[in-house]
Amino acid sequence: MTGEEGLTLAGFQDFFQDQLTQLVRLTNSAPQSEQIIFKWLEHLGYDKDLYPIRSRCFVLSMHSERPLQVDVRDATQTDIDTRTCLLILEKFGQELKKSKQGYRLLYSFSDKIFGYSYAVQNIKSKKIKVRLDCSKSESMLFSTPTSIIEKTIEAGATEFFMHSMAVPSEGKFVRSAECTILEKDE
């Protein structure tokens, strides 16, 4: 099952199945077994919804009349994607709804893919905890495991929340985004 290159896919499947069988026998508790399995998945690089924790796709297109030299580095340990999204939203984003609660819900829209990006800007002098709820959307895909995201935002800061996109195979979609403050740091 293992070779010079490491564990084969079939070997991994056999190992994982054997470990699950032993775990269920040992714990006799479905919730306890589930927690252990989720911990295993986290160590393998996945969250509870089987989204990869580390992998991200980036496409960089450069056009030049002169030769270019490019150094490719591992960007998964950086926040370059989030920082890029924030810069775009801060410069080109529009305020979705006027709020008197001390935040601005920013969004940008791409008419090519019917995609939206969202960020929340805290305009208060104290940190706030905010929920962005897009669960009333229909025929939309999200860049996050769920359509409801909660984050604490420092005073004066802006936090990126998610991307959403209309399902390509659907004819119609409904975009919904509601932002609420959950708690304020007094």
| DSSP structural state of residue 38 | H
pLDDT at residue 109 greater than cutoff 70: yes
For 15-30, what is each residue's pLDDT tens digit? 777 777 777 777 776 6
- The domains of the chain are located at 7-44, 80-184
User: Does domain 80-184 match CATH 2.60.40.1180?
Assistant: yes
- pLDDT at residue 149, as a whole number: 93
Assigned token pair, 25:
């026998």
pLDDT band of residue 107 (cuts 50, 70, 90) is very high
119, containing H or E segment: strand 115-122
For 41-87, what is each residue's pLDDT tens digit? 777 777 766 667 666 566 677 888 999 888 877 766 777 778 888 88
User: DSSP H helical segments within the chain, as ranges?
Assistant: 9-27, 30-44, 80-92
Sign of torsion over alpha carbons 75, 145, 106, 158: negative
Q: Is 20 helix (H, G, I), strand (E, B) or coil?
A: helix
Residue 138 near residue 174, CB atoms below 8 Å: yes
The predicted model scores a pTM of 0.60
